[in-house]
Amino acid sequence: MSSARLVLADGSVFEGRAVGASGSVDGEVVFNTSMTGYQEMLTDPSYAGQLLTLTYPMIGNYGVDAAVEESGQIQPRGLIVREVAPVSSHPRSTSDLATFLAEREVVAIDGVDTRAITRRIRRHGVMLGTITTEPAAEALERVRALPGYDSIDWASQVSTGEQYGWEPFARENDLHPAMEPKANKAVVKPHDADASGSPKRVVLIDGGVKRNIMRSLVARNCEVTVLPIDASAEDVLALKPDGILWSPGPGDPQVQNSQVEETRKLIGTVPLFGICLGHQVIARALGAGTFKLPFGHRGGNHPVRDERTGNVTITAQNHGYAVDPDRLAASADVSHVNLNDGTVEGLIMRDEPVMAIQYHSEASPGPLDSMGIFDRFVELMDAEGGAG
């Protein structure tokens, strides 16, 4: 392997080895504390424009498997790890991580002290950086001239360009291993004998959707139609949905002003459910603000309390922004709170079928504690009867 370095905007330099594709990549440097799920993270659109640091020291020991990918392409600009496993072993594995990175043209670096990188980000906040083979001084000059991450509409960049329908179990790799009945017996595939009733029509607004959201809906007898992020309220309602889901996605929710206005028109029509970026857009439509977290919530071990029941679940999260509830409409309540820092993790409306969560109920490989939120969404659609 050739030498490479990670250069941060504060002047920090971390020497390591080049892995995967050659070249230099720039982005906002973030970290995720999950021990597994590296392939899901690499294909998660919410990492668009970022350099992803994985804190677990060895990555790649169970190889790669196309069935777990969350989108059709690599989403972060680059990958930063302590060590890429030289050997991988898993019944589903078709390749090793180093080969996967090279084939997908991912610029990555290993051999760096990811613990030191994480501590620096925790202390000073997320910042721009570069993975490069060029001299550190030249790289630092380039990084400091980059536009701020918050100024770019990343969600529009990863959204679909056209409407499409998610065909249940027709596309390659639709069925994630975690969705198999033996792994999650609460899940019923649409073609199973006990699946009953007409499918619910769900319109999904794509700000960076993950495949497991659509898998989770299809597993609950829903027909899913995906629309671009710039779809109008009229576009959405013209499809006569039984429910609307606003997807997760990357970037600052403050750049989604037009979608906040369109979402406001959807409130009170049919059940509306938002996840992550969708949660933030719905919150803004209800009068709340948003702000950037110092280093974000990214990992699979975040405790969230349901304010209505007192129940605590462990959740997977991946976001750099949070909701400020100070100006939240009187008709809405904070339903969930992060027990680590007290930030808002969920919203509900009292008199309208609207709910939103900041965490990822669809998380793969998990935890699966919050998968029941999709059942709640279906229950809302059953109760309301839809727009069609």
Statement to judge: residues 176 and 141 lie in one domain: no
Residue 168 — very low, low, confident or very high, per pLDDT cuts 50/70/90? Answer: low
Q: Give the closest residue to 308 by CA, choosing from 342, 346, 275.
A: 346
Query: Catalytic: 222?
Result: no
Checking if the pLDDT of 132 tops 70, the result is yes
Checking if the pLDDT of 183 tops 70, the result is no
The pTM is what? 0.92
Checking if the pLDDT of 188 tops 50, the result is no
Statement to judge: residues 214 and 350 lie in one domain: yes
Quick one: pLDDT at residue 180? 39
Residue span of the structural domain in which 341 resides: 155-384
Mean pLDDT, rounded, of the chain: 91
Q: Give the closest residue to 280 by CA, choosing from 205, 350, 364, 346.
A: 346
Quick one: pLDDT at residue 178? 44
Query: Catalytic: 172?
Result: no
Checking if the pLDDT of 145 tops 90, the result is yes
Checking if the pLDDT of 186 tops 90, the result is no
Kindly state the percentage of the chain with pLDDT values over 90.
89
- Contact assessment for residue 114 and residue 31, using Cβ atoms and an 8 Å cutoff: yes
Statement to judge: residues 41 and 166 lie in one domain: no
The SS3 assignment for 367 reads coil
Provide mean pLDDT across the span 25-45: 97
Q: What pLDDT digit, counting tens, does each position of 355-372 carry? A: 999 999 999 898 999 999
- Catalytic option among 70, 262, 345, 362: 362
Statement to judge: residues 36 and 114 lie in one domain: yes
Checking if the pLDDT of 171 tops 60, the result is no
Quick one: pLDDT at residue 196? 55
Residue 167 — very low, low, confident or very high, per pLDDT cuts 50/70/90? Answer: confident
- Catalytic option among 83, 176, 223, 276: 276
Spell out the residues 6+ positions from residue 98 whose beta carbon is closer than 8 angstroms to its own: 19, 20, 60, 84, 86
Q: Give the closest residue to 179 by CA, choosing from 213, 205, 203, 204.
A: 213
Statement to judge: residues 168 and 283 lie in one domain: yes
Statement to judge: residues 232 and 332 lie in one domain: yes
Residue 73 — very low, low, confident or very high, per pLDDT cuts 50/70/90? Answer: very high
Instruction: Please say which residue of 100, 133, 148 terminates a domain.
Output: 148
CATH at residue 132: 3.50.30.20
Checking if the pLDDT of 206 tops 50, the result is yes
Checking if the pLDDT of 87 tops 70, the result is yes
Instruction: Please say which residue of 148, 177, 197 terminates a domain.
Output: 148
- Contact assessment for residue 278 and residue 76, using Cβ atoms and an 8 Å cutoff: no
Query: Which residue carries 């329908």 as its tokens?
Result: 165
Total domains, the chain: 2
Statement to judge: residues 288 and 270 lie in one domain: yes
Least-confidence region, from 118-127, 172-181, 222-231, 335-344: 172-181
Quick one: pLDDT at residue 350? 96
- Contact assessment for residue 190 and residue 199, using Cβ atoms and an 8 Å cutoff: yes
Statement to judge: residues 35 and 119 lie in one domain: yes
Q: What pLDDT digit, counting tens, does each position of 282-301 carry? A: 999 999 999 999 999 999 99
Quick one: pLDDT at residue 200? 96
Statement to judge: residues 102 and 84 lie in one domain: yes
Query: Catalytic: 319?
Result: no
Kindly give the pairing relationship between strand 50-54 and strand 83-84. Answer: unpaired
- Contact assessment for residue 324 and residue 175, using Cβ atoms and an 8 Å cutoff: no
**Cα dihedral 382, 313, 80, 48 sign:** positive
Statement to judge: residues 188 and 335 lie in one domain: yes
CATH at residue 273: 3.40.50.880
Statement to judge: residues 144 and 167 lie in one domain: no
Instruction: Please say which residue of 117, 148, 179 terminates a domain.
Output: 148
- Contact assessment for residue 244 and residue 202, using Cβ atoms and an 8 Å cutoff: yes
Q: What pLDDT digit, counting tens, does each position of 101-117 carry? A: 999 999 999 999 999 99
Spell out the residues 6+ positions from residue 342 whose beta carbon is closer than 8 angstroms to its own: none
Statement to judge: residues 11 and 36 lie in one domain: yes
Quick one: pLDDT at residue 197? 77
The SS3 assignment for 155 reads helix
